[in-house]
Amino acid sequence: MNPVVYAILIPLLVTFIAPFFRPRTAAIVSFVAFIIPFFVTLWALLTNQSFELPLMNLGKPIGEFYLFADSISNAFGATICLVSAMVALYSLPYMKHRFEEMKDEIDDVTREFRKYFLLFNLYAVSMLWLVYSGNLILLYIFLEISLLASFLLIYKYGYGNRQWVALLYFVWTHIAGVLTLIGFLMIAFENSTLALKSITTVSFLAWLLIFLGMIVKLPGLGPHIWLPWAHAEAPTPVSALLSPLTVGLAGYVLLRIYLVSPWFINEFRNIIIAYGILTSIYAGFSVFKQTDYKKLLAYSTVSQMGYMLIALCLGSYGLLGVVIQYISHAFGKSILFMTAGGIIALYHGLRDVNKMGGLHEYIPTISNAALIGFMNLSGILAVGMFGEFFILKGIVDVYGLDLKLILAVVFVFIISGWYSFYTLRKIFYGTPKGMERPKISRFLDTPLYVIGIISIVFIFPPLATLFLKSLKLCILGGVCP
């Protein structure tokens, strides 16, 4: 079997082993379980590895269950593994703080850590296996497992009226799931299979249902109302997976369907691009109105998802932009949510940005990590700069030198940089508020720098050269399944 198969089996096995260890050991074991497949999937990405592994054949209309990999799967898989590994370490001090806050509800902290790591690893591994699933029903199964695990994490360990927020999240994400499932089933009866390699046609109604489901999941403007609540009230390690990884996987699903049958996106590209731009601008300006740091980051996520919708409509170079935007957003937003969680843990639940200011004087390691996170969102000296370049290249290829569209998309990019550095200044710079300088666990800041350094290293040869060559061969060369 391909080394990637063995690698992604490791976190699946550790999911059910980690709960038997004490909390510190469980965090380290979970970290190792994801960092190993990170290096393997990164190697597979840089060397343009691919494989196909049959599992079983269920006959018509489901078809063959199989695992497969190409450069797209490996790019998404490596991103999921890196972020999950770092958040696993970060979870140890953060959830210790959270369990102390919940001491009236918790009898045994060690037992709660066991439940937490079981759900955390199940959540992360389901996302990993989703991107290697070659059958749409198998993909849907892993999607539902990820939604159920994240729902339970919010329900058990979230903030505020966490049960209500968890149910809100559950209902909206299952609306997305049901719409998508109906679309998948229509594909099954149209093609007598749901194996991606065998699907030849996707009807209008099937495409429409899948697209609407993924718009709810991304989310786009309108259905976005569930996301600020879920991100704000989820325990921060869950937010650090939910925003960067889970919502972006809607882009992965749309990308895979596009590679099978692009006609729907091509037919309605003008409407979708306009909607993506409107989503990014509305959510981007909404960031300035937020006083809760985590809600602020949630609106930023909505704005960034507009990028993915725009990129999806811009031909082959736009598809490169979709993949790179997912990576960039995952790196940047996981860092930023962990900075928010660090402030919460170190300053007794502080989330109101109006009560912050000058925090760089007291927690410089977290402040500097936030700078790297916002650089990723802004496409400045990090992997996201490639994503923005390919989006603009896609516009020129599809529309020519359409200055109105180019300026509109550039304005979207500018808004991201604007709210990023506005937020950075408001929280970490300015006049210090006379706070204490806390002692910071290395698990609260080191994981942020690991992600941040990798996001910067990816813009330099040889990683940048190999990375872009592999994705171009897959997408531009037409060798993606």
pLDDT in tens, 110-169: 999 999 999 999 999 999 999 999 999 999 999 999 999 999 999 999 998 999 999 999
In this prediction, residue 95 has a pLDDT band, given cuts at 50, 70 and 90, of very high
- pTM for this model (two decimals): 0.97
455-469 confidence digits (pLDDT tens): 999 999 999 999 999
Question: What CA–CA distance (Å, rounded) separates 418 from 416?
Answer: 5
The one-letter amino acid at 74: N
Looking at residue 352, what is its pLDDT?
Answer: 94
Q: Is residue 440 part of a domain?
A: yes
**Contact, 128 vs 35, CB < 8 A?**
no
pLDDT of residue 311: 96
247-260 b/e (C-beta count within 10 Å ≥ 16 → b): bbbbbbbbbbbbbb
Q: Using pLDDT thresholds of 50, 70 and 90, give the confidence band for residue 247.
A: confident
Instruction: DSSP letter for 53, please.
Output: E
Coil vs helix vs strand at 262: coil
Place of tokens 């740091």: 293
CA-to-CA distance for 302 and 246, rounded, in angstroms?
13
pLDDT of residue 246: 81
Residue with tokens 């990637």: 4
Handedness of CA 429, 435, 437, 441 (dihedral sign): negative
What is the arithmetic mean of pLDDT over 319-333?
96
pLDDT recorded at residue 480: 59
Please state, rounded to an integer, the average pLDDT across all residues of the chain: 94
Over 90: is that where the pLDDT of 436 sits?
no
**Is 480 contained in some domain?**
no
When pLDDT is averaged across residues 182-196 and rounded to a whole number, the result is: 96
pLDDT confidence of residue 64: 95
Q: What is the pLDDT of residue 479?
A: 59
Helix H segments across 357-462?
364-378, 384-399, 403-428, 442-457
pLDDT of residue 248: 87
How many domains does the chain fold into?
A: 1
3-state secondary structure of 62: coil
Q: What is the mean pLDDT of residues 276-285?
A: 97
Q: What is the pLDDT of residues 234-245, one digit of tens each?
A: 999 999 999 777
Task: Report the chain's terminal Cα–Cα distance, integer Å.
Answer: 19
Assigned domain for 455 exists: yes
Q: Domain for residue 210, yes or no?
A: yes
pLDDT band at 259 (very low <50, low <70, confident <90, very high): very high
Range of the domain at 375: 3-475
Helix, strand or coil, per DSSP, at residue 328? helix
Give the confidence band of 29 by pLDDT, cuts at 50, 70, 90. Answer: very high
Domain-located, residue 133:
yes
Helix-, strand-, coil-residue percentages of the chain, each rounded to 5? 75, 5, 20
In eight-state DSSP terms, residue 67 is: E
Query: Is residue 481 scored above 60 in pLDDT?
Result: no
Of 177, 160, 303, 174, the C-alpha closest to 232 is 160
Cβ burial of 214 (10 Å; 0-12, 13-18, 19+) is buried
For residue 338, is it within any domain? Answer: yes
Quick one: pLDDT at residue 145?
96
Whole-angstrom distance, CA of residue 340 vs CA of residue 235: 11
Q: What is the pLDDT of residue 243?
A: 76
Q: What is the DSSP letter of 110?
A: H
CA dihedral 62, 175, 240, 475 (to 10 degrees): 50
Contact call for residues 281 and 412 (beta carbons, < 8 A): yes
pLDDT-derived band at 419 (thresholds 50, 70, 90) equals very high
pLDDT at 316: 93
Structure confidence at residue 435 as a pLDDT band (50, 70, 90) = confident
Q: Residue 54 contacts by C-beta under 8 Å, 6 or more apart in sequence?
A: 64, 65, 66
Mean pLDDT of 240-262: 90
Confidence of residue 12 (pLDDT cuts 50, 70, 90): very high
Distance CA 4, CA 6 (A): 5
Give a yes or no: residue 183 inside a domain.
Answer: yes
Task: Kindly state the average pLDDT of the residues 231-260.
Answer: 91
Higher pLDDT, 419 or 103: 419
The neighbour count for residue 271, using CB atoms within 10 Å, is 10
Answer yes or no: is 481 within a domain.
no
- Decide if 411 contacts 281 (C-beta within 8 A): yes
Q: Does pLDDT of 270 surpass 60?
A: yes
Task: Provide the pLDDT confidence category of residue 432 given band limits of 50, 70 and 90.
Answer: confident
Instruction: Write down the pLDDT at residue 107.
Output: 85
- CB within 8 A of 258, min separation 6: which ones? 265, 312, 319
Write out the two tokens for 333. 């937003």
* H-type alpha helices, 18-70: 23-46
Q: Is the pLDDT of residue 59 over 90?
A: no
22 neighbors 40 (Cβ within 8 angstroms): no
Collapse the DSSP code of 272 into the 3-class scheme (helix H, G, I; strand E, B; otherwise coil) and give the result.
helix
